[in-house]
Structure 1
Amino acid sequence: MPPPTAPEDVYRHGLRLLLDKDIPAWVDLWDPDGVFEFPFAPDGWPARLEGKAAVADYMRGYPDHIDLHDFPHVEIHRTTVPETVVVEMRGVGRLVDSGTSFDMTYIAVVTVQNGLFTHYRDYWNPLVLLQEPASDFTGRNPR
């Protein structure tokens, strides 16, 4: 079966990879020049990652910090730009270091070309994680 190329299919496939904790496969969904933005990033956290290598570095330690269990709500909206979707979703799991439950809502604006993420703007709520001891997904304390 060929890999998905429609933006909504690529996005759903990426969610499955995150739940499977297959970060290398998720990173492989990125265009070499893709841009990952976090408009609400707190001070000391990256607001913009440029290129697949930067995304890979950022996500390397993700499963060591966040144990995702499910995305119980995912709603994907098509836009007037065929390559771009807007996603409303909720992710649940636990924060590994503390064992605390993790429940976060997201809005993402995602552009996919040729089956790869080229631009991903993630409007996540940093207040959820700031209530916990701070460390980004690389395991470094960003403060």
Structure 2
Amino acid sequence: MPTTPATTPATTPAELFRDGVKRLLANDVAGWVDLFAEDGVAEFPFAPEGYPRRIEGRAAIGEYLRGLGAHVEYRAVPDMKIHETAAPETIVVEFRATGRVVATDGPFDMSYVAVVTANDGRFTHYRDYWNPLAIPDSLTEAVSA
């Protein structure tokens, strides 16, 4: 008897990243976190004082991002360039996310460069070079309130 095929997981790091962007635009932060391997790592080399620079494990990444949707509503990723590398499991992504800061209804507009490694349909290493100097004042005020 034929069976219904399961949903096909993203097969390349680029497809996985695009799937993750769709989840973030749908305010599905938990869905974004689910794309990480159980032992996945997220790094933020330019994180300001008081923010972690390295987070290990899907559970810890989920805890770190738990309140993201309450602070930022992503509405669009108008610019995204995905660069393949010599290592097929690693991509470099240049992208810009826009939206609003929830607490103040102010604009959110941030550019990122991320080095992303994925294996078996999950992020294993996500290094995000976001610019902490570009955090909107309205977001800083909302988070510290």
Q: Which has the higher helix share?
A: 2
2:20 is aligned, of 10, 14, 31, to: 14
Runs of 4 or more, structure 1, over 4 Å off, are none
1: distance between equivalents of 2:89 and 2:70? Answer: 32
Matched AA of 1:75: K
Per-residue CA deviation, residues 77-132 of structure 1 (Å, 9 max, x unaligned), is 00000000000000000111222101111000000000000000000111122633
Matched AA of 1:28: D
Aligned pairs (5 A) from 1:1-143: 1-129=7-135, 131-132=137-138, 134=140, 141=144
SS at match of 2:24: helix
Larger radius of gyration: 2
Instruction: Compute the RMSD of aligned alpha carbons.
Output: 1.5
Unaligned runs of 5+ in 2: 1-6
Q: Number of residue pairs matched?
A: 138
1: distance between equivalents of 2:136 and 2:54? Answer: 19
Matched AA of 1:124: W
Percentage of matched positions with identical amino acids: 48
Alpha-carbon offset, residue 134 of structure 1? 3.0
Task: Name the TM-score, length of structure 2 as normaliser.
Answer: 0.90
Task: Name the TM-score, length of structure 1 as normaliser.
Answer: 0.91
Unaligned runs of 5+ in 1: none
